[in-house]
Structure 1
Amino acid sequence: MLMIHAAMDKILKIICCLLFISMVGVASWQVIARYVLNSPSTVSEALLRFSLVWLSMLAIAYVTGQREHVSLTLLTDKLSGKWKIGCNFLMELLFIGFSAVVLIYGGMQATSNSMSQIYPMLNIPKGLLYLSLPVSGALIIIYCLNNCLLIYKNIFFVRSQAL
């Protein structure tokens, strides 16, 4: 299971870095085209919006897998032993439930409802934009199941120690 976790981490890092680099390139091109060439690019803004949504959703999945997401730890910091493990396990189960209902189910509904609509500037179905929701939801569930296994085995890796 740790090999799957590490492989997913590596793939998501590469995809997120490539998306970010391409976004910087497209944004730079947009500025050059608009202010230097006096011919604004019509596709760049739509491509940036599309890339930003996918980058955000994939980055959320990655951060969830690293257990570095924003959370209120006021209570869990004061717990110890089985209570802390139980609370961490419950948090992972809540993430799984949220991902299954909101991201996967809701994302599939939004994707299927908008697949017939065309993104005007990119000439692709709008459903491809919403497809980022179920994809990230599935990745989050895989990460959370792996985290549940790690909690069960009681082998936590602190991010600073893992690097």
Structure 2
Amino acid sequence: MSEQPADPQQEKDSPSLLHRVESHILGAAIVALVLLAAWQIIRRALFNEAWIHADGLIRQSVLWLAVLGALAATGRRKHIAIELDPKADQRPWAAWKSRLVSLISAAFCATLAWYGWRLVELERDGGMELLPGLPMWCSLLILPIGFGLMALRFGWQSIVAAKAETP
């Protein structure tokens, strides 16, 4: 019996371990958010009571999901992008344009990470709590960490992995 060689396109399309882990984390977080929101609605409707910290936790969970989703999208190069020249990918300088766009995106995300850190510092001085014993600034750590990781991903793409993709 001879084994057939693996299809290179199939290997390219199969998600890496990191992408699978990201997808599972995002999926679990979405399920947890929906269950928490449903539980809060049921408690209010049926028992005329609510968990006082649920609304803040739901808001922070949405922030985490948005940043983690954006991080996953950047890793797959499926993020929102504004294309000024739709035919640019067919030109000889398309790879350089892709690298430049990735470099600008890295700088932008690094700036957002820095401002996210400044927000964490301000919130740390404020002393508010998300949950009893959990300061609000801990929940905002996703901003500098998430945007910092996005800056690294865009930076990596601008140096090594940026390729002109044809439609």
Amino acid in structure 1 at the alignment position of 2:161: L
Residue identity matched to 2:144: P
1:73 Cα deviation (Å)?
2.3
The answer on whether the counterparts of 1:116 and 1:125 sit within 8 Å (CA) in structure 2 is no
The number of residue pairs the alignment matches comes to 152
The TM-score, its normalising length taken from structure 2, stands at: 0.78
Please state how far the C-alpha of 1:8 moved relative to its aligned partner: 3.4
Match of 1:106 in 2: 115
Which ranges in structure 1 are unaligned for 5 or more consecutive residues? 159-163
Report the TM-score, using the length of structure 1 for normalisation.
0.80
1:107 Cα shift?
A: 1.0
Deviations 1:130-158 (A, max 9, x none): 2111111122123223323122xx48698
Q: Could you tell me which residue of structure 1 aligns to residue 161 of structure 2?
A: 150
Q: How high is the sequence identity, in percent, across the aligned residues?
A: 20
Counterpart position of 2:54: 44
Gaps of 5+ in 2: 1-11
Equivalent residue for 1:92, pick from 81, 84, 102? 102
Asked whether 1:116 is paired with 2:128, we answer: no
Shift of the 7–121 alpha-carbon distance from structure 1 to 2, 3 Å rule, reads: same
Answer yes or no: is 1:14 the counterpart of 2:24.
yes
- Opposite residue 152 of structure 2, the aligned amino acid is I
**Deviation of the 1:72 alpha carbon:** 2.3
The amino acid of 1:125's aligned partner reads: P
Q: Is the 8 A contact 2:120 2:137 kept in 1?
A: yes
